[in-house]
Amino acid sequence: MGVKTDLQPKYGERRTRLPPGPWNLSRAEKREVCNSFYGMKVPEGYSSNIKNLVSLQDSRLLGLKSHDCHTLMQLLLPVAIRSVLEKPARYAITRLCFFFNAICAKTVDVSKLDKLEEDVVVTLCLLEKYFPPSFFDIMVHLVVHLVREVRLCGPVYFRWMYPFERYMKVLKGYVQNRTRPEGCIAERYIAEEAVEFCTQHLSDVSTVGVPSSQKMGVSKPLSGCTNTEEVLPYIEQHMIHIKTAYPKFRKRTKWLQDKHNSTFIQWLRFKVQSELEEDNHGVSENLRWLAAGPNMAVPLYRSYLIKGIKFNIKAQDDVRTTQNSGVYLIAQTMQVASAKDKNPILSNMGFYGVIQEIWDLDYQKFTIPVFRCDWIDSSGLVVDELGFTLVDLSKIGHRNDQFVLASQVKQIFFVDDPMHRGWSVVLSMPNREYNDVIGDEVLGDVIIDCEPFTRGMPNVDTFDELVGELGGQNIRDGCEDIWIE
């Protein structure tokens, strides 16, 4: 028929040889893919330890669970195959992985579903060009209908089984007498629930399941936290003050910013003190303590738990099988074309970094955790044709401004790029918290931005907010955030 002549058998004198298809991997390519998976370190709670799923001797992946397969298909597989296969076949597989990542996202833009449905049809047609007919069973065909299902029923995670499977594991762990499993589950569940409710009547009691961070030493603190919402009006006033005091430098944006950074803390302290001497000053209690500065003795931590997300320092990740030290920040900064550019532009820019130290600043009435990070210089940041962000972790910049508030960053992780040695691919950890249900609801057919809990029972603070929104009474006052897993 003249179809795919390059795959026709090659007849020789002694034997007939079947040429490899575009989907076949050689031994070296299999070894390279397995080595890529073997070296991956993902954040805690993201998936299983990928290293334990790889057999380097057989060049195979063994013991994968359904959630591991989902994780590999959404993010990790496109990175592992970047240096193998022919380019058309590799791009077809990557397109399929991007599709699953899109429909499983926390936010689904309904206006883009038609384009997503067209893309997945094209993706399956591309797969038909390179994969054998035996690959296309009914399961592959059902991918076409997933977008229609999202349009009718909402995001995929409303209907998958992961939260129920995880909670069933918790309930099965309650069983001590296998002849009476129902009784064991009922007794343990009631006992654990009673203990959690009793904590509201006790003071200074650490809750179950929350690890305490280890105090590592004392160091010199920051001069103050200048990027909180209460301080922003004073930043604008200080910039006006500098332009008035130095009229010759009004048009030199870079000089004004450097002068602001070096003098703002002292100016804020005197400004707040002068306002406090006036009647009806309107200075909040938090701003008063911020202007006074933190305690000079600052504890350092190896790990810190913020809003259910665990952050580690780089030294802690080096001795662990997980990676929780990568952070991403969107901040407004000055962008210049070159060193001679006298007209910098203020715009939002993304920064990628690695946590080196975790400080907990004590302002007497409250504490503020901050991260000291090694931020990647712009020369070590590249975006390839597929949209992957590549960073060179050895190129460190922004050394004069390394600190950032812990509440302002998003957790990411880095995977070694098998195609470009010395570079790493930036991947983001999807938010899987129950409190994503609170706040944004399904509004018509514009944007769906909500997510059910997938880590067991919901935490207490979120439960209080949910009860309050439903018009109920807060029944767990005084409890801290906990997870029952």
Q: Report the distance separating Cα 390 and Cα 416, nearest Å.
A: 9
Confidence of residue 208 (pLDDT cuts 50, 70, 90): low
| pLDDT at 372 (0 to 100) | 92
pLDDT digits 0-9 by tens, 93-131: 999 999 999 988 888 889 999 999 999 999 999 999 888
pLDDT of res. 423: 93
Contact 230, 290 (CB under 8 A): yes
Give the number of other Cβ atoms within 10 Å of residue 111's Cβ.
Answer: 9
Residue with tokens 């597929």: 386
Residue 135 structure tokens: 């690959």
Q: What pLDDT, on a 0 to 100 scale, did the predictor assign at position 165?
A: 86
Highest mean pLDDT: which range of 212-216, 226-230, 296-300 = 296-300
> Three-class SS of residue 105?
coil
| pLDDT tens-place string over residues 429-448 | 765 443 333 233 332 333 32
Under 8 Å between Cβ of 39 and 47: no
Instruction: Please name the helix (run of DSSP H) or strand (run of DSSP E) that holds residue 410, with its range, or none.
Output: strand 410-416
Q: With CA atoms as reference, report the closest residue to 165 among 66, 49, 243, 251.
A: 66
Please state whether 215 falls in left (phi above 0), alpha (psi between -120 and 50) or beta.
Answer: beta
Q: Distance between CA 425 and CA 364 in Å, rounded?
A: 41
Please report the pLDDT score of residue 30 as a whole number.
93
Half-sphere exposure of 65 (CA within 13 A, CB side): 10
Q: How far apart are CA 62 and CA 74, in angstroms?
A: 18
54 pLDDT band, cuts 50/70/90, is: very high
Is pLDDT of 215 > 70?
Answer: no
Segment 201-218 mean pLDDT:
55
Strand-strand pairing, 107-109 and 215-219: unpaired
Nearest 5°: phi and psi at 159? Answer: -125, -5
pLDDT band at 466 (very low <50, low <70, confident <90, very high): very low
